[in-house]
Structures are given as C-alpha cells and as structure tokens.
Structure 1
Amino acid sequence: MEKKLFEYTNDDTFDIYLLIKSADIRVAKNGKKFIAFTFQDTSGQMDGKYWDASEDDIAAFTAGKVVKVSGKRELYQGNPQIKLFKIAVTKSGDPDNPDLYVERAPLKKEDMMEEINDTLFEITNANMNRIVRYLLNHYQKPFFQHPAAKRFHHAFTGGLAFHTVSMLRIAKTIATQYEDINKPLLYAGVILHDLGKIIELSGPISTEYTLEGNLLGHIVIVDEEITKACLALKIDEKSEDVLLLKHMVLAHHGLLEYGSPVRPKLREAEILYMIDNLDATVNMLNSTLNRTEPGMFTERIFGLDNRTFYKPNESEKTTDSK
C-alpha cells in the first residue's frame, strides 16, 4: 500500500498522488512568479513551493486537482515542507478523485446528527429552539460537510459538525458542575456560533474564503442568519432571549482583536469563548502530536504562537510482584 504524506520522515524522497488544497500565485524577489502550494492527503497537509512557474503551470496546477508529486520532505523553520522535484497532472486511470485525499471527521455524520438532535430537546427556550432548528434544517447538508477552518483546527470534511459536537460535550460537563448555568442559552450558542462558516468558507475540497467570508466574516454572517430566522418564524428580534443568543455569537471570539465586535457580557458567553478556544487548541495539539514520535518535539504550531510541544515517551507498564 502506498505510504501517506506524513508517513515519510525528514529527508525521505517520495513519488505520490496528492490533492492540491490551495495554490497561491506569488512573485519572488527576482520578479518571477511561483506557486505556494498546500498539498494534502488523508494524513494531513504540507506546503511546498514551485519556483519559476509559467502561465501554463499556473493554469494546470489549481486548487482541487489531484497531481503526481515527486519531492523530498524537509524542515523549514521547524515545520515540515515538501521540496518539489517534479509535479505532473494525472493521466487516465490515475486515482484522481479528490474525495480520496481529504481528511474526515472521526465520527460518522449520522452519529453527529443524532447527538446534536438529542441536544435540541434540552434547548427548552421556545424562541432559541425554533431558531436553532430552523437554521440547522436550512443548512443541514453543508453543516455536516464543511470544515471548521481553512487550516489548523478541524480543517477537514465534517470538521464543523465535529467541532460543534465536541464543544457540546464539554458544555454539558460544565453545566453539570455549575448548576446555575443557563443550559438552553449555552447549548444554542454552541450550535450556532460557527454556523456562518458554511457561507464564509467554500467547502472541504479546496477550502477558500468566499467573498462574503472575506468581507463580512462568519460572526456577522451568523448574526444576519439569526435575524432572517426571526423574520421567517415571526419572532421579535428585539426580545431578550434573541438578544442573548445574538450576544453569544457576537462575543464568542472573546476579544475585539480576535474579531468579536463585543466582549462577553454574559456568564454563558464567557464559557462559550473558553470552550471554543479549548476545543480548537486541543484539536491542533492532537493533530500535530499524532504525527510526532514519542520523545520528540512537534513541528511549530502556527495557531499556538509557533510553539513546539514535547510528546513524552510512554511509561513502561509495571505490575507489583507479590
């Protein structure tokens, strides 16, 4: 069986099929164009640069295509990258279906749907429940297909739904510990907080920011979607429960410099911000640590201030002798 991209170690050479996740055209200091690629297969994503790219190369090697890549894995500033030797378009009979190369959520779509639907019965506030159900029904297909990000955390098919389910599990544990928490508000906020990424991002194959995503961002998009739901359902948008739900969405990045137009002013909004950050952080760590040998440090993780993390050697199991 052909090895996956991240099964190769530093200085290994390879000749494998990969999906072009993104292909950004840039200009080098010498004035010549090059392509900054992000390649991927089911093991993860890795960057590589194609220097002195011709117009034909730029037209041929676009995001969403499967290509044959000959190269070597190497380190650049602590991160793995591909030194490209050769890249070629696929021929008839080659495994060129992009679906073969995308990462997927570790949970089945049906299981995630069931878990989220079960949670809806715990959203006992009528207005919040109706809004959440309306938006989930309206966007059901992309909600369970889209990634939660272009890169770094939950950036795989089904990543948005998996991120949501993971956060719901954390939220329910916290709500058990602190009984005064408004569970309907917290759970509704968790389910809707990133729903705007369905519109902000293009999809799981070659994920890019859409025009709306670049100009508005998913936080504003969700706020608008809640307004549309209120109009369709004839719910007063100015009622307190709707304002509380909107605040959950608008404040979930926690800080103004992180993109939230307002900082959390509700206990549940502060919890949502912390849960979101925790789940994204753990996912980034797990993805990187899973590709790291015990006793070694990870590659630099951009989303965590370019820090590296140590993966301890597993302790030997011992049994007490009697």
Structure 2
Amino acid sequence: MLKHLLDYNEGEEFDLTLLVKNSQLRQDKKGKHYLLLQLADKSGAVRANYWQAEPEDAKRFETGTIVEVAGLLEDYQGRDQIKIFSIHPVSASENVDVSQLVAGAPEGEKQMRREIGQFVAEIKEENWHKLVKYLLKKWDARFFSYPAGKSNHHAYEGGLAYHTLTMLKDARGLADNYPAVNRSLLYAGCILHDMGKVLELSGPVQTKYTAEGNLIGHLVLIDEQLVLAAQALGIDQESEDLLLLRHMVLSHHGKYEYGSPKLPALLEAELLHRIDDLDAAVNAITRELGATKPGDFTLPLSSQDGQRYYRPKKEYQ
C-alpha cells in the first residue's frame, strides 16, 4: 500500500515525492539563510526548515516545485515538522503522478454539483438565475476543480466549490432567520463572489497567481465576467438587477484595506462579506487544529492576526 506523508509516525524516516506548497527565504539570528517550507501530498501538508539554504535556493524550491525529500517526522511545539536529510527538485523527465500530491475537498465533486445545483434552483429572480447558470456553465470544469486560494484557505483541489457550498449553507440559515434578506441575491452572491479565481489562479496543482490575478484580481475579474454575461444574455447593462449583483461581488471583501473597491451597501452584501470571512476563518483554524496535538496551541495564524488556538485534550461531546 502506498504510504503518504501523514501516514508516517514521529521518528519514522521516509523518502517521498512532495509538493512545495509554500516557500519563504528567511534569516536566523546569526544572519544565515534558511527556507521555511510547507511540503505536501494528498494526505496533507507539514512544515519544514531547510537550514543549508543559499539565496539561490529560493528559486530552486519556490512554491509549486515538486521535490524528492528524505527525512523524518518530528515534534515541534506540539505539531509535526519534517527534519530534512536531503531535498532536490524532481526533473521534468521524471514521471510523477501529480494526483498523489494534491489534497481534495471533503466532499466529492458529484455531491457538490448536486447540492450547488439545488441552491441555483432557489434563485427566483430571473436575471440573477440566468447569470449564475451562464457563468457556472462557462467555467464549469475550473469552478469544480480549482482551489479557493493559493495557501490561506480551501487551498486544495475542489476548494473553490466547497467554499462556495459551505457559504451557501450558512446563507440558507441566515435567510431562514431574517425575513428581510433577499435569498436569491444572497445565494447568487455566494456562488459568484470568488468565481474570478478561475482566472486569478493557475489551477489545483502547483497553484500560482496568473498575470490577470496579479494585475487585476478576482473581484474585478468576476465583475467583468458578469458584464460580458449580461451582454451575451441580452440583459440591460443599466438594469438594477445587474447593478446589485455587481455590487455584491465587488464589495465582498468588506473593507478597502482588504481589497474591496466598494464597501457593502446592501444588507445581502454585508452578509456575504461576513459569511465569506467566517468560512475562510473556520477553514484555516480547523486546518491548523488538525495539525496540532491535543493539549497544545496552534502556531500563530497570520490570517487571524497572529492568534493561536488551543486544541482541547479531550474530545468533547
């Protein structure tokens, strides 16, 4: 049986082909360079320090590089860390099954398609329904395979669709509790808000930002796609229907400093921002807790202003 990274126990040596999920060139207190790496396969990711690094190694082991690693798992502050014996990039001529290097969403694609389709059916406003269906069809393959991010949250194959689905489930509860919420607009916003990432990111394997992603960003990219879709569908460019949906996607980061060109000015836009922020936070915290031993704290989470989270010793009911 093929063993993956997280199948190994502490102190157990391994020799595996892994993916560099994240790579940062740093300096220790003595001014010597080292690489802080996150190495991964389909079972998950583990932190590692490459102490013998030279500045040029930042390019050799950049994010997205496939590497051959010999090492062992050891405990560091209550979580697994890789002690590297040797590491080198895998050449393009070597046959690597990249499907073994990429983690997948907790739910299968078929199930996510079915559930998201049910939410689409509940969008009663005709133009919003048409726009959502049009863009889902246009970007179908990418939407259900791409991650929702490069490294921060839902950074795995199918992560974009899974993030969308969990947000829709949260949105359903809010719409049930608050009659003032326009369910159709909120659902449409949830489905479309991050769809620009199919253009911002390169894909689920060796994920990088595209030129469009770096220069424009997913909020503006999906706004552009909405305008083009409206043109293709014959929807009036001046209609309030289109205006409201464009506002939803353009304001969903919630604050100017978070990259939103506009602040939420609709009840549904405010809820979309908060649902998005909540789901991203829960995903990031849960991921770190899963890599932390009971009775210990996570490492500081940059996405949560450096906060550390405690994993209780007991599995409570």
Name the TM tier (shorter chain): 0.7 to 0.9
Preserved contact between residue 78 and residue 299 of structure 1 (Cα < 8 Å): no
Aligned to 1:18: 17
For residues 43-92 of structure 1, what are the alpha-carbon distances to aligned partners after superposition, in whole Å with 9 as ceiling and x for unaligned?
3233544613768x956x66655432123556889986544331145599
Q: Which moved more, 1:62-71 or 1:215-224?
A: 62-71
Cα RMSD between the aligned structures?
3.2
> Normalising to structure 2: TM-score of the pair?
0.87
**SS of 1:310 mapped into structure 2:** coil
In the alignment, residue 96 of structure 1 is paired with which amino acid? V
Match of 2:53 among 48, 51, 54: 51
Preserved contact between residue 67 and residue 90 of structure 2 (Cα < 8 Å): yes
Aligned residue pairs, count: 314
**SS of 1:40 mapped into structure 2:** strand
Distance in 2, matches of 1:154 and 1:5, equals 19
1:13, CA displacement in angstroms?
A: 6.2
Structure 2 residue 195 is matched with structure 1 residue 195: yes
In the alignment, residue 115 of structure 1 is paired with which amino acid? E
Preserved contact between residue 67 and residue 96 of structure 1 (Cα < 8 Å): no
Change (3 A) 1:266 1:78: farther
**SS of 1:67 mapped into structure 2:** strand
Aligned to 1:249: 249
Distance in 1, matches of 2:279 and 2:26, equals 37
Preserved contact between residue 73 and residue 83 of structure 2 (Cα < 8 Å): yes
1:296, CA displacement in angstroms?
A: 1.6
Change (3 A) 1:218 1:103: same
Q: How does 1:123-272 map to 2 (within 5 A)?
A: 123-272=123-272
Q: Which moved more, 1:76-85 or 1:38-47?
A: 76-85
Q: How does 1:92-103 map to 2 (within 5 A)?
A: 96-103=96-103
1:25, CA displacement in angstroms?
A: 8.7
Change (3 A) 1:315 1:208: closer
**SS of 1:297 mapped into structure 2:** coil
Distance in 2, matches of 1:106 and 1:70, equals 29
For residues 240-264 of structure 1, what are the alpha-carbon distances to aligned partners after superposition, in whole Å with 9 as ceiling and x for unaligned?
1111111110110111100101111
> Normalising to structure 1: TM-score of the pair?
0.85
Q: Indicate the percent of aligned positions where both proteins have the same amino acid.
A: 42
Aligned to 2:310: 310
Distance in 2, matches of 1:316 and 1:266, equals 39
For residues 181-222 of structure 1, what are the alpha-carbon distances to aligned partners after superposition, in whole Å with 9 as ceiling and x for unaligned?
101100000000000000001111111111100011100001
1:289, CA displacement in angstroms?
A: 1.3
Structure 2 unaligned segments of length 5 or more: list them: none
In the alignment, residue 16 of structure 1 is paired with which amino acid? D
1:311, CA displacement in angstroms?
A: 1.0
Distance in 2, matches of 1:265 and 1:63, equals 37
1:95, CA displacement in angstroms?
A: 7.8
In the alignment, residue 208 of structure 2 is paired with which amino acid? E
